Structure 1
Amino acid sequence: MVKPSYYKTKQQDMILKYLISKKNQHITVNMIAEFLEKQGTPVGVTTIYRHLDKLVEQGELQKYIIDGVTSACFQYIGDETHCHEHFHLKCENCGTLIHLECGYMKDLYTHVLNHHAFDINSFKTVFYGLCRSCSDKKNHTEAL
């Protein structure tokens, strides 16, 4: 795939380097804006969105819109295309989004397809609950 070229700014380079350094995480525009602010290079969220959209078009980022309520998040994938092959877990308390790459989920996918004639879109499938940290905090609070 030929990637279109366009003028790159220092801020765009900083955004890309930040995304690469966090490639195993989902990053929001607000997280990027906070990072740039701390680096002494504030950039407006509209500008950040425009740059991220270009990176998505070029295939360097994956964009996730999980529930239509929370902000979109992005993940650097570079030339990797495996990112669409898993489900997600979202903490209802802290908002953490976790990639769930588990053989049991493939079994679930196959079962639903074979026994219920339904092809699950794993890219858009999200299970909601509490992450370990929030669950531990909740259990600790309830024990008091």
Structure 2
Amino acid sequence: MPYSTKQQQAVLHCLEQRREELLTAADLAEDLRRDGCPVGLATVYRQLEKLEQAGRVHKVNTEEGAFYQFCSHDANGHRDCFLLKCEKCGCIRHLDCSHLQTLYDHLEQDHHFRINPRRTLFLGLCEQCAGKEAEEDHGTHQ
């Protein structure tokens, strides 16, 4: 990331501290205020936009609004970073997996469609929810 302000570093640090969570801009502004770094909501949004463009943050748009999550991967030329969302519990997991590169290449070469993996969200069931569902299915079929 070429140039960053104190405010941008504070927003990034806050996201990094809560890397497993999805946060709204309002959540971040509140955390920063509590930590003695009062930053206006408009400034938080501006910094989040810059951080997203730099590949340091994932932006997830939902019916409830936009959420942000820290990304530890460098966006420059890095196409293997994406998100997994559990349809049952709603958790979102950030994942780096080179196996999807084959799919990206296929779609681009054969279908002339270029995926933006940093904005790609795969929906399914997390391991915990899938296990619970399997237990429930097993219990009803006895």
With normalisation by structure 1, the TM-score equals 0.64
Cα displacement string for residues 29-86 of structure 1 (whole angstroms, at most 9, x for unaligned residues): 39947x95xxxx5xxxxx5x545314324538524134x4143222335894469732
- Of 16, 20, 44, which aligns to 2:16? 20
Which residue is equivalent to 1:129?
124
Task: Give 1:4 deviation, angstroms.
Answer: 4.4
Task: Give 1:103 deviation, angstroms.
Answer: 2.0
Contact 1:93 1:134 in 2 (8 A): yes
User: Residue 2 of structure 1 aligns to a residue in which SS?
Assistant: coil
Which residue is equivalent to 1:73?
67
Contact 1:29 1:73 in 2 (8 A): yes
4+ residue runs of structure 1 moved beyond 6 angstroms? none
Aligned residues with identical type, % of pairs: 24
The alpha-carbon distance between structure 1 residues 87 and 63, as it changes in their structure 2 partners (threshold 3 A), is closer
Unaligned runs of 5+ in 1: 7-12, 42-46
With normalisation by structure 2, the TM-score equals 0.65
Task: Give 1:121 deviation, angstroms.
Answer: 1.5
The alpha-carbon distance between structure 1 residues 74 and 56, as it changes in their structure 2 partners (threshold 3 A), is same
Contact 1:4 1:58 in 2 (8 A): no
Which residue is equivalent to 1:118?
113
CA-based RMSD of the aligned residues comes to: 3.7
Aligned-partner residue type, residue 21 of structure 1: Q
Q: Does 1:2 align with 2:24?
A: no
Unaligned runs of 5+ in 2: 35-39
Work out the number of aligned pairs and report it. 128
Contact 2:22 2:92 in 1 (8 A): no
Task: Give 1:124 deviation, angstroms.
Answer: 2.1
Aligned-partner residue type, residue 45 of structure 2: D
Which residue is equivalent to 2:47?
55
User: Residue 123 of structure 2 aligns to a residue in which SS?
Assistant: strand
The alpha-carbon distance between structure 1 residues 113 and 26, as it changes in their structure 2 partners (threshold 3 A), is farther
Rounded Cα–Cα distance in structure 1 between residues aligned with 2:136 and 2:84 = 23
Contact 2:83 2:94 in 1 (8 A): yes
The alpha-carbon distance between structure 1 residues 127 and 93, as it changes in their structure 2 partners (threshold 3 A), is same
